[in-house]
Structure 1
Amino acid sequence: MTNLISTDKELEKVILVAVRTPDLSEAEVTEHLDELEFLARTAGAEVSKRFTQSLTMADNRTYVGSGKLEEIHDYLKIHEEINSVIFDDELSPVQLKNIETNLHRRILDRTNLILDIFASRARTAHAKTQVELAQYQYLLPRLTRMWTHLERQRGGIGMRGPGEKEIETDRRIIRDIISKLKKDLEKIDRQMATQRKNRGKMVRVALVGYTNVGKSTLMNSLSKSEVFAENKLFATLDTTVRKVVLGNLPFLLADTVGFIRKLPHHLVESFKSTLDEVREADLLLHIVDISHPGFEQQIEVVNNTLREIDNREKPTIMIFNKIDAYSHIPKEEDDLTPATNANLTLEDLKQTWMAKDTPSIFISAREKTYFEEFKKTLYDEVLKIHVTRFPYNDFLYPEFDEENF
């Protein structure tokens, strides 16, 4: 797989390209490109310029159309220091081939970029196997463009049949690798399933949310552990489970991989086993970055992904995090346009749908603002589940008392 992360001191220079379709506003396209730039920076690149093209739908041969592709080509002729061009959607093999032929640069799409970041962040055998499987599944239909010697044939006993092109051998090798990786994952999954069973009947709580919303920071604050947390996308891939005790009420807390819009299907498939912690959880803590201008869209992305992994409806607490970074632009008194998240105060937001549909709390995990209120809400919700499994005892489970926490 293409690796953007450079060992040199100078960052690799890239440009970004996106298509704006009629269902996307200019602000939404800008937000998508902001996120793509964040992904590029996470991978170790520096963005030099952005290109957008308005089309009814992405061109099936060149993604942006021949005219815009020519404009990008002219820009690259002047700026020879740019190494790569990154596209905001997954490109088809035909699009990749045509774009590379025209631009003479390394071409990556959003899927390739996310896979690259996942590969650099994977630490355990489980995560590495999942990422490798997703990489090969992405690679298989795109093999043709990677070879310049397709017509050369290689014979030999035990190698392939007569007349078979080398690319067919490579495809067969990759299919065999994919098959082996799937078997390896099944074995690891069985081991992890056994581990989950051995945890007994303890209440399970899972942190879910968009990437970089503060899940690991919250995990560290609750469990007093040192889960890796960084202001980058996908800082953690491996699911971390810790035992937490609030007062004298124990439960298991799992930190899971963050979600993102346009999450590659191969990654969702290969990481389904990791997300078993979410499926088997008794309670979800949906963490939201309230300071992000598109947090409502991020909530929808997370909910859609949860539906995609067949997650049943289960109790959820909405945790609106990073209130220390929240800011708004007050409306002018004579401004008659409808209020938006950009000009609502935090107190106004608390009165909207966000605080009414499900139990909700507004906090700062980093500054521990309103943390006692959050822990009481969590304690109450865990207790509701706990007492259905174990005989209720007033002595064992007293009313919430801050001194117990």
Structure 2
Amino acid sequence: MLHMVNDISKIALFVVLRCIWCRLATANPRTYIGSGKVAEIKSAIHAFDAETVIFDDELSPGQLRNLEKAFGGDVRVCDRTALILDIFNQRAATREAALQVSLAQMEYQLPRLTRMWTHLERQAGGQVKGMGEKQIEVDKRILRTQIGALKKEIESVRKHRKQYRNRRTAVPVPVVSLVGYTNAGKSTLLNRLTGADVLAEDKLFATLDPTTRRVQMKNGKEFLLSDTVGFIQKLPTTLVAAFRATLEEISESSLLVHVVDISHPLAEQQIEAVDKVLSELDASSIPMLMVWNKVDKANDPEKIIMEAKRNDVVCISALTGEGLEEFCNAVQERLKDMMVWVEALIPFDKGELLSTIHRVGMVEKTVYAENGTLVRAYVPLRFARLLTPMRQICMS
């Protein structure tokens, strides 16, 4: 599918003039589409006075160059990857996000630099033959140097994040990460549960930086909830690589909450797209809770709720708050499955330890003895290791 559009502002807002579908057994190596479609699009460009043609797939540098020559004039040809990178560039609100987007853009541009220097082809005769090629090589070297510098900065960010996670894991509060297709309502859910002031708008990729907040439940239990960048079908590999420092938050989670916009007509395809990206991140083995969001906007909410119960799925509306208590209970139950059973005697002078057990674990019974408090509870594995000496005292 491709779109012909007009740019109506400096922030890349477009008016779609026409959509054209193409059925291809194989892509044309020169122009991606056949010569007949090229002629059809060229006629439509003149008829609608279109400024940009967007292809819903990634084009090779040669295909981009040949299509722009075929369409003529000042018509810009943009592929799916370039469009997504443009959107990411607009959404980057922090230094870290800007670094990651810049890296992805440069790696995308590197093999396409020939398109930026086509004006030098006019100098290919006489004394200056080959000057265009030399300029391209100079430009590529500059770009490779910039890419190397960006990778070093991002690696520094990655190390900083790792240190932060190590400090966070010292406090045994389980981490739950929200994952899902872009615009599924993850940031709205985080705001509703934690009172965080995270940007939540009805647009693609509103959130590029992970945000982690503490969720306090009515029963006193708590967990950390982390919002992550939204996924999309055919997510460019350059973006997956560039955002790996950010996406590592997912791999360190105790539980993934897959938030789905169940009111979207392509919800099934979006679920598959998210599962594919999680597989690429080697996060498929992390326990997951499926959550269907925006139930209030669905055509038949009652039918969806019945289907959700059969499939062990939680239905919510992050916007209205419907189903959030059930969601928190489901998270707590899933976290319990990842905890271990302990019996420990907590000395009276370790009151903060007992308080932590009640906060992050699930206490079944407490008995007050002469030399401390006997606790029987489910606690996170890494916290259970801290209780090992006290468990030995309890068993002796």
> TM-score, with normalisation over the residues of structure 2?
0.79
Alpha-carbon shift at residue 384 of structure 1 (Å): 4.1
Deviations 1:166-223 (A, max 9, x none): 1001111111111111111101110111011111232010000000010000000111
Go from structure 1 to structure 2 and tell me whether the alpha carbon gap of 1:164 and 1:314 turns closer, same or farther (over 3 Å shift): closer
| Alpha-carbon offset, residue 106 of structure 1 | 0.7
1:168 matched residue in structure 2: 137
**Residue 62 of structure 2 is aligned to residue 94 of structure 1:** yes
2:188, 2:132 → 1: CA distance? 58
* Structure with max Cα Rg: 2
Higher RCO structure (Cα 8 Å, ≥6 apart): 1
Select between 279-288 and 380-389 the one with higher mean Cα deviation: 380-389
| Aligned twin of 1:234 | 205
Contact preservation (8 Å) 1:261, 1:301:
yes
Q: Kindly indicate whether the alpha-carbon contact (under 8 Å) linking 2:255 and 2:286 is maintained by their aligned counterparts in 1.
A: yes
Structure 1 gap segments, 5+ residues each:
1-15, 19-32, 154-161, 328-344, 400-405
Q: Which amino acid aligns with 2:298?
A: Y
Contact 2:157/2:245 (<8 A) preserved: no
Specify the alignment match of 2:274 in structure 1: 302
Supply the distance in 2 between the matched residues of 1:241 and 1:386 (Cα, whole angstroms): 22
Higher strand content, 1 or 2 = 2
Aligned amino acid, residue 57 of structure 1: T
- Matched residue of 2:27: which SS? coil
Cα deviation for residue 151 of structure 1 reads 7.6
Aligned to 2:225: 253
2: CA distance between counterparts of 1:392 and 1:236?
33
Identity %: 44
- Offset at residue 85 of structure 1 (A): 0.7
Letter paired with 1:374:
F
Please give the alpha-carbon distance, in whole angstroms, between the structure 2 residues aligned to 1:69 and 1:301. Answer: 30
Q: Distance in 2 between matches of 1:386 and 1:56?
A: 51
The code of the aligned residue for 2:259 comes to I
The match for 2:22 is 53
Amino acid at match of 1:241: T
* Structure 2 CA distance for partners of 1:393 and 1:54, relative to 1, 3 Å: closer
Q: Does 1:141 align with 2:135?
A: no
Matched with 2:214 is 243
How far apart, CA to CA, are the structure 2 residues paired with 1:227 and 1:321?
Answer: 18
Partner residue, 1:189:
158
Aligned to 1:66: 35
1:375 Cα offset (Å): 2.0
In structure 2, C-alpha distance between the alignment counterparts of 1:151 and 1:270, rounded to whole Å = 36
The 8 Å contact of residues 243 and 253 in structure 1, kept in 2 or not, is answered as: yes
Which residue, out of 294, 317, 320, partners 1:367?
Answer: 320
1:125 matched residue in structure 2:
95
Contiguous gaps of at least 5 residues in structure 2: 125-130, 343-356, 367-374, 378-396
Deviations 1:44-85 (A, max 9, x none): 1111111112221222211221111111111112232x2111
Q: Structure 1 residue 394: deviation in Å?
A: 3.8
Match of 1:24 in 2: none
- How far, CA to CA, are the matches of 1:385 and 1:47 in structure 2? 49
49, 55, 75: which is aligned to 2:44? Answer: 75
Separation of aligned partners in 2, 1:253 and 1:166 = 50
Bigger drift between 267-276 and 380-389 goes to 380-389
Deviation track 1:249-275 (CA, whole Å, cap 9, x = no partner) reads 121111000000011110011111111
Q: Which has the higher helix share?
A: 2
The letter of the residue matching 1:17 is L
**Quick one: structure 1 residues 288 and 47, their matched pair in 2 at CA, closer, same or farther if it must change by over 3 Å?**
same
Report if the CA contact (8 A) 1:150-1:166 is conserved. no
| Secondary structure, aligned partner of 2:253 | coil
Secondary structure of the residue aligned to 1:284 is strand
Number of corresponding residues: 338
Question: Of 180, 198, 206, which aligns to 2:177?
Answer: 206
Structure 1 pair 244–112 and aligned structure 2 pair: CA distance change class (3 A) = same
2:353 alignment counterpart? none
Structure-2 separation of matches of 1:398 and 1:45: 61
Which residue matches 2:351? none
Q: Compared with structure 1, are the counterparts of its residues 394 and 294 closer, same or farther at alpha carbon in structure 2 (3 Å cutoff)?
A: same
Alpha-carbon distance in structure 1 between the residues aligned to 2:285 and 2:326: 25
Counterpart code for 2:189: L
Shift of 1:383: 4.0
| Aligned-partner Cα distance in 2 for 1:347–1:63 | 45
The CA distance in 2 between the partners of 1:321 and 1:149, in whole Å, is 53
Mapping of residues 283-298 of structure 1, within 5 Å: 283-298=255-270
CA distance in 1, matches of 2:208, 2:108: 19
SS in 2 for 1:53: coil
Q: Deviations over 1:7-64 (max 9, x none)?
A: xxxxxxxxx717xxxxxxxxxxxxxx9xx99xx9x94111111111222122221122
Q: Distance in 2 between matches of 1:307 and 1:250?
A: 28
Q: Structure 1 residues 58 and 398, CA, compared in 2 at 3 Å: closer, same or farther?
A: farther
2:332 is aligned with 1:379: yes
Distance 1:125 1:17 in 2: 33
Cα shift at 1:290: 0.6
The residue type equivalent to 1:134 in the other structure is: A
Report the Cα offset of residue 371 of structure 1. Answer: 2.2
Aligned 8 A contact 1:150 1:167 in 2: no
State the alpha-carbon separation in 1 of the partners of residues 258 and 96 from structure 2.
24
Contact 2:104 2:239 in 1 (8 A): yes
SS in structure 1 at match of 2:78? strand
Instruction: Give 1:102 shift.
Output: 1.0
Q: TM-score, normalised by structure 1?
A: 0.77
Deviation at 1:312? 4.3
Which of 35, 47, 53 is residue 85 of structure 1 equivalent to?
Answer: 53
